[in-house]
């Protein structure tokens, strides 16, 4: 029986919200798993995730759901409205869900769950032969999924679209070739300066975890992270999670011999959390209540970690406090600390890379995964391809595969098309910086601890819109143009000038 489109919409949204209240509990489970969960809980936790996933799948693919969706789509909601965009995202999710057979999804989950374990062993033993057959199987499954999803020019686009709606490999290639060329030139400058003795002093000492934690909490409060709507806990691979609008948690890690690592992990995750705290609360549970993409999310973490957190103005204010919390640092001047925080040099491992060389790590991964998915490279050729590309970009070859193609979990857990979002996050962050500087005196605000005016700019231009726009459109509205790598390279050029000239 046909229903009034408005009524169908309301019923659909009620269902979607209820589903989200159930699936958002997964966030709490993930947080628990990576912080305090007892070891023996792992087996049944896996079954719990699977049951939630199966339930969500059954709701979205139910005849009732699609019928409500179709009837709601007959409504005359104005284009770009909250209603229209909710329907847009729900249609997208529905189509992508039904296009891929459930068997294929389950086979991928089984294969990746098994592969993650094997990958850990292969990495530890530095033995590619252990994991290559499994990776081959994952690539085969992902290619098959891409065929089911459909694409216009290349299979890789179908997978990229999962993380970055609307983004295409061709566009990534354009942006990346610009970033690559500029970065290689800047890196040459940095290396020359380093050879002539411009190298930061290593910040050494013993930094008790409890004192680091006290400083982190202090810093979070001063910047504006609401500790009554979140927590800071410890983990090995830091992450941020939004369980509900009033529960946005972050995690970090503390190294007793490295004070910088923890500080920048916390600032990064805080950037994600500030975004999550700024998403429209009344839209929670609806598709428009989320961020539109991973790159936009990453732009917020990189903005706070790098643009704000690695600036001299930031540490002018915070360094005296960091020294007071960790008196070992009285042996190092503000400039020593700042230079160490902005150290740039080639490294083998992505997660240890600096702001400049980081993007080269991403570009390498993009080129390889695109070839793998498009069938232009076979998995057996991956170790050699990695090493020769690495040599081409950095001038050296990784001494081990552990520091080479085995370093990141992404491919072994089935994530292809994810890596480019990191560099797009950097691109957008630098673009936001350029734009925000037209409106406010950004660095004076940072020096004066006026984080509220920085945050309110981000809230107004980015956070408060949720997923009302596609990522490209959101960036255009916030900054006047779509993602443009020019601003990232200008920003990095200034950094290199500041520290290495």
| Cβ proximity to Co ion, 134 vs 301, nearer residue | 301
Q: Show the tokens assigned to 317.
A: 């204010």
| Cβ proximity to Co ion, 65 vs 358, nearer residue | 358
| Cβ proximity to Co ion, 203 vs 295, nearer residue | 295
Spatial distance between the Cα atoms of 221 and 283, rounded to a whole number of angstroms: 26
**Which residues are 252's β-sheet partners?**
234
Write the CA distances from 385 to 184, 302, 310, 388, integer angstroms: 19, 29, 34, 5
Q: Smallest distance, Å, CB 409 to Co ion?
A: 14
Under 8 Å between Cβ of 446 and 269: no
Q: Is 232 helix (H, G, I), strand (E, B) or coil?
A: strand
Q: How many residues bind Co ion (CB under 5 A)?
A: 1
Q: Which residues carry out catalysis?
A: 269
Q: Show the tokens assigned to 359.
A: 């993007």
Q: Smallest distance, Å, CB 274 to Co ion?
A: 12
Q: Smallest distance, Å, CB 463 to Co ion?
A: 16
Q: Smallest distance, Å, CB 230 to Co ion?
A: 16
Spatial distance between the Cα atoms of 463 and 289, rounded to a whole number of angstroms: 10
Q: Smallest distance, Å, CB 306 to Co ion?
A: 11
Give me the residue whose beta carbon is nearest to Co ion.
301
Residue 18 CA neighbour count, 13 Å, CB half = 10
Helix, strand, coil % over all residues of the chain, rounded to 5: 70, 5, 25
**Which residues are 240's β-sheet partners?**
250
251 near Co ion (CB under 5 A) = no
| Cβ proximity to Co ion, 200 vs 262, nearer residue | 262
Spatial distance between the Cα atoms of 47 and 102, rounded to a whole number of angstroms: 17
| Cβ proximity to Co ion, 203 vs 219, nearer residue | 219
Nearest to 267 by CA among 326, 345, 355: 355
Q: Show the tokens assigned to 263.
A: 């500080």
What string marks each residue from 291 to 310 as x (binds Co ion by CB under 5 A) or -? Answer: ----------x---------
Residue numbers of the site for Co ion (CB under 5 A)?
301
């Amino acid at each position: 029986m046909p229903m009034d489109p408005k009524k169908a919409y309301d019923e659909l949204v009620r269902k979607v919200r209820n589903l989200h209240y159930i699936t958002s509990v997964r966030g709490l489970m993930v947080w628990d798993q990576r912080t305090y969960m007892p070891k023996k809980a792992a087996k049944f936790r896996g079954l719990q995730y699977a049951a939630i996933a199966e339930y969500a799948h059954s709701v979205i693919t139910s005849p009732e759901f699609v019928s409500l969706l179709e009837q709601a789509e007959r409504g005359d909601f104005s284009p770009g409205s909250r209603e229209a965009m909710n329907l847009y995202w729900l249609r997208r999710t529905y189509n992508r869900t039904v296009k891929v057979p459930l068997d294929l999804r389950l086979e991928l989950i089984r294969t990746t769950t098994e592969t993650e374990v094997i990958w850990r062993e292969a990495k530890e033993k530095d033995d590619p032969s252990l994991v290559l057959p499994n990776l081959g199987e994952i690539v085969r499954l992902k290619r098959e999924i891409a065929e089911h999803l459909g694409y216009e020019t290349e299979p890789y686009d179908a997978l990229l679209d999962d993380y970055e709606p609307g983004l295409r490999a061709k566009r990534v290639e354009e942006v990346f070739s610009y970033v690559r060329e500029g970065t290689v030139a800047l890196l040459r400058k940095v290396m020359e300066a380093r050879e002539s003795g411009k190298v930061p002093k290593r910040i050494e000492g013993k930094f008790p975890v409890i004192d680091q934690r006290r400083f982190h909490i202090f810093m979070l409060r001063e910047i504006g992270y609401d500790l009554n709507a979140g927590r800071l806990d410890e983990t090995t691979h830091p992450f941020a999670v939004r369980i509900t609008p009033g529960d946005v948690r972050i995690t970090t890690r503390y190294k007793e011999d490295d004070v910088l690592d923890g500080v920048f992990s916390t600032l990064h995750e805080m950037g994600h959390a500030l975004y999550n705290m700024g998403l429209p609360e009344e839209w929670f549970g609806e598709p428009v209540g989320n961020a539109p993409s991973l790159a936009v999310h990453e732009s917020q973490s990189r903005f706070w970690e790098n643009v704000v957190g690695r600036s001299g103005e930031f540490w002018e204010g915070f360094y005296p406090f960091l020294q007071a919390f960790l008196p070992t640092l009285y042996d190092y001047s503000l400039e020593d600390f700042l230079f160490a925080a902005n150290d740039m040099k080639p490294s083998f491992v992505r997660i240890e890379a600096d702001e400049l060389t980081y993007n080269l790590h991403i570009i390498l991964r993009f080129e390889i995964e695109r070839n793998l998915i498009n069938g232009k490279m076979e998995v057996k050729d991956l170790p050699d391809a990695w090493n020769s590309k690495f040599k081409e970009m950095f001038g050296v070859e990784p001494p081990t595969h552990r520091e080479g193609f085995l370093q990141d979990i992404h491919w072994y857990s089935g994530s292809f098309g994810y890596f480019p979002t990191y560099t797009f996050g950097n691109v957008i962050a630098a673009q936001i910086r350029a734009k925000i500087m037209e409106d406010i005196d950004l660095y004076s605000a940072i020096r004066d601890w006026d984080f509220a005016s920085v945050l309110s700019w981000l809230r107004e231009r980015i956070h408060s819109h949720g997923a009302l726009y596609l990522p490209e459109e959101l960036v255009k509205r916030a900054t006047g143009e779509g993602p443009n790598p020019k601003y990232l390279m200008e920003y990095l050029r200034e950094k290199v000038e500041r520290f290495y000239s």
